[in-house]
Amino acid sequence: MACSAGTERLVPRARARTWLSCAGAAVAVSLVLATAPLARAEMRSEYRVLASYRSGDFGLAARTRILALPVTFAVISDRQEFRVSVPYLYVTSDDPVTIVGDHVIKRNGGRSGTESGPGDLVAEEEHYLLAGGGARPWLSILLAVKLPTGDEEKGLGTGRPDAGAGLGLIQPLGTRWHLLGEAQYFVLGDPRDLDLRNTLWLSLGLQRRVAGGGSASLTCERRDSVLRDRPDIAKLGLVYDQGLARRVNLRAAISVGLSKTAEDYGLGVGFSVH
């Protein structure tokens, strides 16, 4: 895959060309996957809101608290899902920091206290290569592009676009259990005076359906650090989904950091309407 150029540092111009190639390919393939199948498939739209709160020192000298209020719009068919998400962020820290996805890194300059505003917009296209059922697995390919809509001066983003690609797996284990697996590789744009490395994100978990239209899932995540001299991120997450009506679903989530670069704990609550 062209985007999987390895984690070795490229010279700036080569790095820029690599990112532009990956971003262009991700956008082009996303548009093809999003439009071609939908002409023949029934579509539905969905709105999602999931407020989250994370707290910890993230491997830095000062504690940081992050409140995110993301809104996601999705267009879904039987074999495809296209979604666009943008959060509104409140970041409070005793030292200036920059948000890089799940990462919190020290920022040179700026001020401590609370910064707020829109974060980075993320567009994702997920296409199911295999449609599961019974004992058959679901296998999907995911393409993502991050646009730098977050204010770089406030640390709400890096001011540079990113692109990524990955694979997802849902394997039924009987009638109530599912094995969940996902792997994504991200090519990151470098902000001023900072060398970010490309990252690999891995997730493995189990989901169990419960009576009354609910499900619970437990996942373990590992993500490469964006800085070479810092430990990778590792954490556990527990998510519970409950359908309240035909068109409404509630979600509650909790996370616990397993590495010093992850949050100490995180909480989330939200809903989706389709």
In whole angstroms, what is the distance from residue 242 CA to residue 246 CA?
Answer: 11
Copy the structure tokens of residue 141. 């390919």
CATH class of 12-273: mainly beta
In whole angstroms, what is the distance from residue 72 CA to residue 150 CA?
Answer: 16
Tens digit of each residue's pLDDT (9 = 90 or more) over 12-43? 444 444 444 444 444 444 444 444 444 445 88
Average pLDDT, the chain: 86
Least reliable range by pLDDT among 4-8, 94-98, 113-117, 264-268: 4-8
In whole angstroms, what is the distance from residue 147 CA to residue 139 CA?
Answer: 27
- H or E segment and range at residue 18: helix 12-35
